[in-house]
Amino acid sequence: MSNDSTARGYLTPVGDMPAYDQALEREISRWIRGVSGLPAELVFPRWTDPQSPIPNNGATWCAFGITTVPQPLSQSDVQISDAQSEQWSWETVTVICCFYGPLGASTAATFRAGIFVEQNNGELNLTGLSLVDAGTLYNLPELINNQWVRRYDITVSLSRKNTRTYNIKTLVDAPVFFGG
């Protein structure tokens, strides 16, 4: 089965793909750790299988989740060679960060302040992501193992440009006759 525009049928992207799933979660985890100062074992994605163990009561930690990746509002198709075309799209990645524990509010506030530091955004840019906006800190205590645990949530919006490459060839020759 052909995967280029010389034959009829569906085309699928070739080469590197945008990061989603665990790869994207790893980048976001590194960013949260780097800006908040929390150690690696205290920052983890929510809603995974298997679920990460909840840290002991008294620890300050963060669980995060990618909640939305809306349909891109714009995209461009760019012919990059005689044999390939790139599809560029810009999407927003919305992340909820839930900071738990006795220093949850302080850590969440430190994180929120730190994401607006230009050097921190520059490090995030190296992953292909860029800060768009950060919301309000919400105090939402949670009952965990029959104990109330402090929890402070903040929603952060990140943007990124995605590039997908397709084997779309340029039109070199066409058997067309124009005449009268």
For residues 60-89, average pLDDT = 89
pLDDT in the model for residue 2: 82
Residue 54 is given by DSSP the state P
Q: Calculate the average pLDDT of the chain.
A: 92
User: Under DSSP, is residue 72 helix (H, G, I), strand (E, B) or coil?
Assistant: coil
Delimit the domains of the chain by residue range. 21-69+89-161
Q: Per-residue pLDDT for 173 more than 70?
A: no
pLDDT digits (tens, 9 = 90+) for 90-133: 999 999 999 999 999 999 999 999 999 999 999 999 999 999 99
The CATH architecture assigned to 21-69+89-161 reads: 2-Layer Sandwich (3.30)
Contacts of 120 (CB under 8 A, 6+ apart): 34, 35, 114
For residues 69-93, average pLDDT = 87
pTM of the model: 0.87
pLDDT in the model for residue 49: 85
- The Cα–Cα gap between 7 and 174 comes to 15
Least confident piece of the model among 6-15, 126-135, 169-178: 169-178
pLDDT digits (tens, 9 = 90+) for 142-159: 998 898 999 999 999 999
pLDDT in the model for residue 140: 97
